[in-house]
Structure 1
């Protein structure tokens, strides 16, 4: 399956991926309305981490053996049949946060402003390419298929 991979050597920490993700998941899909008029505000499902001169984006890895799937007591976390992405059915989520506790990457967030549900990357289901990847000015985010997850940690040449 296609996943998002980061090239941290070219990430400049601009956070445009976070902004475009928030707008994509907003009700209006318009930047000013998403930030100034929509409450509760949508959460970005990607997070830029920075330390010293290094910055990189974190989002759900849609793991092959996703621990969040096994930990979810209601079945709200599920694997999309067509794409293989790990998604959250917000109508089934009860806010127990088990998925957050078991995620090895710490990328599932709590949406506590609206209904208390888990919020995570959905690979912009329905879009050809996730908006964070499409709008990254340095092409630090890549959306591609690799043979296995071990290759995800290799540097892109």
Structure 2
């Protein structure tokens, strides 16, 4: 089972995780030419400041009992029982946004272009490690493998 763990005390707010995610989910693979103003260039996670103005990575944790899956009426949000990955099927989505409203971490969001699909972390399914984890210089974002299944 895979889970994302966040250690907010280690986060410096450098945005490396956000940029890595933007590059992964974009046709442009060059950070120097990545258009940060383009609404099609969006990250599945972000950094927010807590009440003490300390940066906190807001990234899908792929929860054990994900509220987004429990509240999804169309079956667009599912949790793989073996890997633990919570995934989103755009074709099944009814655009009710219950998943967005129910996420306790405030991770999910509507895409800026169509306002009909949900942007959801896929744990960089075709990579060895999620880009946010691989590019975090302080180790604030960690991939936990548990249960011996992976």
Determine if the TM-score, normalized by the shorter chain, exceeds 0.5: yes
**Does the residue aligned with 2:87 lie in a helix, a strand or coil?**
strand
The ranges of structure 1 where at least 4 consecutive aligned residues each deviate by more than 6 angstroms after the TM superposition are: none
- Give the CA RMSD over aligned residues: 2.2
- Are the aligned partners of 2:4 and 2:62 in contact in 1 as well (CA < 8 Å)? no
Q: Which runs of 5+ in 2 are unaligned?
A: none
C-alpha contact (below 8 Å) 1:108/1:118 kept by paired residues:
yes
- 8 A Cα contact 1:59 1:120, kept in partner: no
Q: Which position in structure 1 is the counterpart of 2:88?
A: 88
Count of residues paired in the alignment: 146
Q: What is the match of residue 48 of structure 1?
A: 47
- Quote the residue 2:128 is aligned against: 128
Show the counterpart of 1:104.
Answer: 104
CA contact (8 A) 1:46 1:121 kept: yes
Structure 1 regions of 5+ residues with no counterpart? Answer: 148-157
- Deviates further, 83-92 or 39-48: 39-48
Tell me if structure 2 keeps the 8 A contact 1:35–1:41. no
Relative to structure 1, the CA distance from residue 63 to residue 36 in structure 2 (aligned partners, 3 Å threshold; closer, same or farther) is closer
SS at match of 1:126: coil
